[in-house]
Chains A and B, each alone.
Chain A
């Protein structure tokens, strides 16, 4: 009995130590962001609080525009992914046609060879299409998502045949069946995939950095990197305020929907 109690105590200690280490960077960022620069490394309990760092950061770069761009970007990608992946997944589940196996294998290949890696060729394509420095160019390579098609196909496969047949007896065509039967039953998957997709594309950096070059198109991640790399003696408190600001929407959403977030990532990962 002694041994198990000691064991449990040790595990709790370990779990908490690791949790504190994991949380430390975030706590530290919050500390520097809400205190004047002088307290960046002086930890006094009653240090004066301030929101000045946030307003300074907000005014130092066109963050309002960056936020709008990021918002437009993730919305565009999400809607595009939902529509295209739904149609494709439905075709794979509901129809038999020559080439189905090969095409599905090609879709799965995208899980390994992601557009993130093919930056050189995709940039050349965007130049040919005249799309460089547009929000569409940031989103287009990700819209036909192999992951999304796979996830929705798995979900659609679990839809009972009887439901579909009942709908068809009532004279519903394939698209009506999709809209009335399949999509409503896949709601949890859409939520899961939506959360994963939004957080992924809000956070994406390399491709937007390459394909944008003006304030009108840059998402927050690229905006933040430009802001914090300017060596004009910008002080850390302001950079950390900007850092928290850009992660803010996701962080707040995460705190509010913690359970859904975790479950979504879980659902998205179970294959």
Chain B
């Protein structure tokens, strides 16, 4: 597990109170019952942590992010953009 993934899962645990062992790249956001408002908070915390802006819109959440891996990838891409 990458450091980034680790940090991100820490944030998810902190914001949602979910058990850490339920989190994986393939875990579905729907199955984890993460609400769109929890998700707004998670994205905010991620943006603060990594100093990036994640292009997240609550209206299109379902089509943009299905799994935790999708968030990891989005964050990775934004971090790479910033370093590039």
Do A and B come from the same complex? no
